[in-house]
Structure 1
Amino acid sequence: MTLYRQLLLTMLLLFAVLFVTAYSVQFSSTRSYLAQQQHTTVSNTVTALGLALTPYLESSDTLGAESIINAVFDGGFYRMVRLDLLASEQQIVREHRALPSRVPAWFIGLDLFEGARQDAVLTSGWMQLGHLYVEGHPGQAYYELWQGMSRLATWFLVCFFLSWGLLVVALRYLLKPLHDIEVQAREIELHHFGKPIPLPVTRELREVVAAINTMATKLEMQFNEQADEAERLRHKAFLDETSGLGNRAYFISQSQSWMGDGSGGAVVLVSVDVLERLYQEKGFAARDQMIFSVGERLRQLCRQFGDHALARLSAYEYALLIPVSDTELLTRFGETINGTIGELMVELLSEGEASVVGMAVIQPGDDIGLLLARADNALGKARREHTGAVVVEQGRTADDMGRQAWKQLVETALAEDGFEFTTQAVLDFSGEHVHDELFAHIRQGSKLYHAGEFLPVIEQFKLGVLLDRHILTRALSFLAARPDLKLAVNLTPQSCHQPAFWCSLEKLLEQHRGPAQRLVLEIPESAFAFGMGDLTRVLAKVELSWGIDHFGRHFGLLSHLGKLRPCYVKLDHGYTAQVTEPDFDEAFLTAICRLARHMEAMTIATRVQSGHQVELLKRLYIDAYQGFISPPRILD
């Protein structure tokens, strides 16, 4: 129970005890007063009535005595007035036993008043004339006691509830610093550092709040230092300082991860030969500034793609990895690159081109060395033959399909539910099952297409929202049929930034409340790289667990991990695959994992192939792993 409730209940209990005590004392005193008053009235009545009746009894005037008794009985509250005439052995009796009408029967049933009674012998000298008996009616006492105690109880209850309301307001105001401390402590526990707590006026709380603020500031500084250190290590290993892009090591690791996932696309090499002339004419500073400007323009051009990799490979050469394999689209993209760079170099161009572009489409079985060699050959051909700025090399096979054929394949699968699903387990290092990741495939005849092959078409034709809705609906049906199952579903970057998708997801979750508790959303890191603020606010409202896929692929996001608050991060395979290399430097990967762990986010290694790799990863700050060491299983 909270301190607020304890204090409130304690004060209300004390007030209730005070009320009951005061009410009991008042009730007892009022009852005693009314009983004494009734006794006094009856005694006075007997005395006065006896004096009034004696003359009539002496003259044996029965009618006169009866008149006196009637007058007294009608003018007071008596249950019985009885006169025994001893001489004639007659009785004059007046009796009223009706209960008061405005007093509850249960209250009268308490027998609070017995009714005062008194008798007297009426005499004349030594002669006894009669016997007078008077009994008071307790109804009036019950009525007065009920009315008085009811009013008192009403006022006490009004005061009680009024005091309750005032206590609620007062305690909330007085204990607000404690509530702020509690909230801040929880945020600190999650490594979320907000604004300092305002200092309260209470001296004791003021000291505590000041200490909490100081501790939060120091912890925030330490966390930022860790994030900066991780970013610094990453920059040292994978960043080209001059251009602000990735270096050759970064591009190689990302390309290996890309092709390992089976994702299609192309490698684009851009050679900006005019930079050599700029160096000769204006020196290092001008050349380096232009290198940076070219990198910024290429980064802007790549924003149209969901996932991509961009790096500077040598002094005048840039490399791009993009999810496009269509020759026509690649040609237009290359022309756009040349036009954009030409605008930067307009002062240096008297003739010729500012840059040349060579492209190589990823083919099954390619490795990064072969792919770069093909792209470099295309680049050399463009430079030698002066046949244009863009040359695309693509070895087509009989199975290659054009854009429209891919689009038709995907649309048919969506319309006819032509997807097949497999799952792959995520395990922690003790062997416990964390969850399963859901993978979608499209079967056409005997050929099975995995997601990496058709996702570029999904992005190109803006089909991501339709695909994600369909797969989420199927995932929820699987979860409803399998209570033991917990599924992670990947979202496309396009869906992540569509408000309509989140609205439809909310309605879908309303229809499947039970299974939805075992659903996990997996957001690609590229979705945060292109609009983190809006996406973070949306995810904060969704009552689902979620994680980040390909974590570490984009620069500059490590320091924002505390704002994202994911349940887990899946480390990009480009980093975890290096653990088996002899010259592997674990400093950067360890820094990322420690940073995620401090944010209470689980870190998951992907594409783990062997037990030896599991043992190497276990020594790092990694919590779980996933890969073909646990082969995919068909889900039906």
Structure 2
Amino acid sequence: MSFKSNILIFISVMLLVLLVGTFGLNMSTTQAFLKKQLQSHSYDTANSLGLSLSAVADNPSSAQTMIDAIFDRGHFAMIKLVNMDGDDIYMRTNPSDQIDVPAWFIGLVDIDIPTSHAVVQKGWMPIGKLQVQAQDGYAYIELWLVFKSLVQWFLFAAAIFLSSAYLAVLFLLRPLNKAQQQAHAIVNKEYILQNPLPATTEFRQLAGAMNGMVTKLQQVFTREAQVAEKLRAMAYQDSVTGLYNRHYFDMTFNSIVDAEQASAKGSVCLLRINGLKELNTQYGYQLGNELVKHIAQKFRQELALNDVIFARLNGIELIAVLPNAEADVLRSKVESLLTYPSSLQQELNLADMPITLTSAIARYEPNESKSSLFSKLDFLIQQAEIAGNEPVQLQQENSHNGFNNKDWQALIDRAIVDQRFKLFKQEAYGIDNSVYDSELLVRMVAEDGKIQSAAYFMPAVEQLNMQSKIDELVLQLVTTHLQKHHSSSHHSINLSKALLIHAELFEQLLPKFQQAQGANLAFEFTEAAIYEHLDTAKAIFNTLRKLGFKVGIDRFGIQVADLQYLKEIQPDYIKLDASFSDQIEVDNSTGSYVNSICEVASNLDIDVFAMSIEKETQLKAFQQSGVTYFQGYYFSTPIPL
């Protein structure tokens, strides 16, 4: 029972005792008064009537008339005249069972009115006795009226008092309720302070202690998030330009070109800064770093497309990986960049500018090796330096590389109509080697019967802005499967970034999500997409939670992001980017960063998944860093759902 209930019960009992005591005292006083009044009335009547009867002692009829007159005008139960031997001469009685008072009340209240006596004389000679007893019905009626008025007052007073007491208790216990809210918020990894502090000394001390604890916990979480971000910056970020470093590029390249990813096809732009050594010699390294920083910012500005990854490979080379981008589309953007050093000469007030820029743009294909890609880039950059009048060199495009065309549109539409999109699943395992859940992957069965991964059709889907259509298709396939098989297994589904960019698309898909209610499903977006559209992601996550689904973040840890945003959206799980699996065994900084991520996630009750596990050594390295769930070919390959 709650403290508030105990207080209200105590107040109610005290009120009941007080009112019952008051009620009983009033009833007792009224009863005694009525009894005494009736007794006095019967005594006075007996004496006065006795004297009157003495005057008409010789006339019995007159005596009877006088007795009748007195009896009829008063409240008497009995008036009786007897001789000195006790024999009745005349008697009038009035039963008390005709009054409008409940029998239970009469039985509860005992009113015993004694009989008054008077002597009737003839001269000095006693000739009879007069007995008078007042009617108790009058007393019962008066007591009943008093009882009803007291009960009404009692109920009214109790209602007013208890309502006031309840409101007073609520007001006084507000600090306790706020402390309870603070405790629940801490469980949910939220940090709220109680302000203003209550006036009551004890509650003020309690609120101050709770505020201190909340502040301390928030500081601990913030410090851990900052440590994780610092480790990420130290391990993967170039200190001069703010771009990713070579280590990061090497780590993530394989995951970018992974055939399972929608980013598996695209273009790469390499920008070489020529003459940097001469500039450093002439003006110093500080100015050289400032110039490289300006060029990097301009590089990012000109190639600001979706999901681009920028990195500094070495002192003079910057690279941009542009998923699903066409090389010829990038040419004009890069050409506008090449004249930038001239404007920097004026901005930095340099006598001369030894810096020139050359660029190479090449395409990459699913599962392409890094050495193959850099061979193409090196060849193209050499061509650019040789052909001074063409500082931007492009890899020659093949006709089959085009995405945005009617052939792709027709191909995807036919696959949808022919129901050639299929779901596969890859299971994830817990630290005890038991199956925890499975990630659902969409595949397309080509017209020749070959199973094609997402890397085959997703670039075209994105170029044609058909992402939400694929989302709807996947939801329909999942719902149909669950209706047929009634599986209790847990499945996770990756949603497209388009639902975050265009919130109305999610609203259009909401009926599909509602159809899947009750199923053990989780929905996830990539970290890059969430961080760019944090408010929309938070709203969508809240909606999905209300429908009973879990929510998560995919490809986590490679985004330049403050990890404190996790506190805002509170995902149920995060899936580390697959690139961590390539480095976790050999790179201490990666292990430290993953460990920091796990500590932050643990404080927020967020599960952490390691992806693309292919070796036992990777598994053990992630386990040592605090990861508890694992997925990859080491455990299972994708199989049809």
Q: Please indicate, yes or no, whether the TM-score normalized by the shorter chain is above 0.5.
A: yes
For 2:179, give the aligned amino acid.
Answer: I
Percent identity between matched residues is 20
Q: For 1:204 and 1:551, locate their aligned partners in 2 and report how far apart those are by CA, in whole Å.
A: 46
Secondary structure class of the residue paired with 1:631 = coil
TM-score under structure 1 length normalisation: 0.84
Distance 1:476 1:244, change over 3 A: same
How do residues 153-552 of structure 1 correspond to structure 2 at under 5 angstroms?
A: 153-195=151-193, 197-260=195-258, 261-263=260-262, 264-273=264-273, 276=276, 283-300=284-301, 304-305=305-306, 307-324=307-324, 327=326, 330-340=327-337, 342=339, 345-346=342-343, 355-385=357-387, 386-387=389-390, 389-394=392-397, 403-411=405-413, 418-445=420-447, 446-476=449-479, 478-479=481-482, 482=486, 484-504=488-508, 513-515=517-519, 518-536=520-538, 539-540=541-542, 542-543=545-546, 544-552=549-557
Secondary structure class of the residue paired with 1:273 = strand
Q: For 1:411 and 1:418, locate their aligned partners in 2 and report how far apart those are by CA, in whole Å.
A: 10
Corresponding residue number in structure 1 for 2:629: 624
- The answer as to whether partners of 2:334 and 2:392 remain within 8 angstroms in 1 is no
- Cα distance, 1:551 vs. partner? 0.9
How do residues 48-67 of structure 1 correspond to structure 2 at under 5 angstroms?
A: 48-53=48-53, 55-56=55-56, 58-61=58-61, 65-66=64-65
Secondary structure class of the residue paired with 1:442 = strand
Q: How many residues align?
A: 622
Distance 1:97 1:153, change over 3 A: closer
- The answer as to whether partners of 1:238 and 1:250 remain within 8 angstroms in 2 is yes
For 1:336, give the aligned amino acid.
Answer: K
Distance 1:381 1:4, change over 3 A: farther
- Cα distance, 1:591 vs. partner? 1.7
Distance 1:436 1:8, change over 3 A: farther
- Cα distance, 1:627 vs. partner? 2.0
Q: CA RMSD in A?
A: 3.9
- The answer as to whether partners of 1:270 and 1:355 remain within 8 angstroms in 2 is no
Distance 1:131 1:206, change over 3 A: closer
Distance 1:89 1:323, change over 3 A: same
TM-score under structure 2 length normalisation: 0.83
Structure 1 residues without counterparts, runs of 5 or longer: none
Q: For 1:239 and 1:301, locate their aligned partners in 2 and report how far apart those are by CA, in whole Å.
A: 20
Pick one of 590, 593, 599 that aligns with 2:598.
593
Q: For 1:508 and 1:24, locate their aligned partners in 2 and report how far apart those are by CA, in whole Å.
A: 69
Q: For 1:483 and 1:83, locate their aligned partners in 2 and report how far apart those are by CA, in whole Å.
A: 101
Pick one of 559, 562, 567 that aligns with 1:557.
562
For 1:289, give the aligned amino acid.
Answer: E
Q: For 2:509 and 2:421, locate their aligned partners in 1 and report how far apart those are by CA, in whole Å.
A: 20
Q: For 1:612 and 1:489, locate their aligned partners in 2 and report how far apart those are by CA, in whole Å.
A: 28
Q: For 2:540 and 2:136, locate their aligned partners in 1 and report how far apart those are by CA, in whole Å.
A: 77
- The answer as to whether partners of 2:46 and 2:130 remain within 8 angstroms in 1 is no
Q: Deviations over 1:10-58 (max 9, x none)?
A: 3334333433343344344444444454444445444444444554564
Tell whether 2:631 aligns with 1:634.
no
- Cα distance, 1:345 vs. partner? 4.4
For 2:558, give the aligned amino acid.
Answer: R
For 2:576, give the aligned amino acid.
Answer: L
For 2:330, give the aligned amino acid.
Answer: F
Q: For 2:40 and 2:478, locate their aligned partners in 1 and report how far apart those are by CA, in whole Å.
A: 89
Q: Deviations over 1:352-391 (max 9, x none)?
A: 9964443333324422222232233334334434557251
Distance 1:593 1:26, change over 3 A: same
Q: For 2:584 and 2:180, locate their aligned partners in 1 and report how far apart those are by CA, in whole Å.
A: 41
Q: For 2:435 and 2:41, locate their aligned partners in 1 and report how far apart those are by CA, in whole Å.
A: 89
- Cα distance, 1:495 vs. partner? 0.8
Distance 1:58 1:463, change over 3 A: farther
- The answer as to whether partners of 1:479 and 1:487 remain within 8 angstroms in 2 is no
Q: Deviations over 1:488-508 (max 9, x none)?
A: 222212212433245456655
For 2:580, give the aligned amino acid.
Answer: Y
Q: For 2:446 and 2:91, locate their aligned partners in 1 and report how far apart those are by CA, in whole Å.
A: 119
Q: Deviations over 1:75-133 (max 9, x none)?
A: 44445666689999765555564332xx5x47546542456463758644566557656
- The answer as to whether partners of 1:272 and 1:316 remain within 8 angstroms in 2 is yes
Secondary structure class of the residue paired with 1:206 = helix
Q: For 1:475 and 1:80, locate their aligned partners in 2 and report how far apart those are by CA, in whole Å.
A: 95
Distance 1:94 1:458, change over 3 A: same
- Cα distance, 1:618 vs. partner? 2.0
For 2:582, give the aligned amino acid.
Answer: A
Corresponding residue number in structure 1 for 2:349: none
Secondary structure class of the residue paired with 2:626 = coil
- The answer as to whether partners of 1:379 and 1:391 remain within 8 angstroms in 2 is no
Q: For 1:479 and 1:31, locate their aligned partners in 2 and report how far apart those are by CA, in whole Å.
A: 79
Q: For 2:427 and 2:480, locate their aligned partners in 1 and report how far apart those are by CA, in whole Å.
A: 19
- The answer as to whether partners of 1:571 and 1:603 remain within 8 angstroms in 2 is yes
- Cα distance, 1:248 vs. partner? 1.1
Q: For 1:309 and 1:434, locate their aligned partners in 2 and report how far apart those are by CA, in whole Å.
A: 32
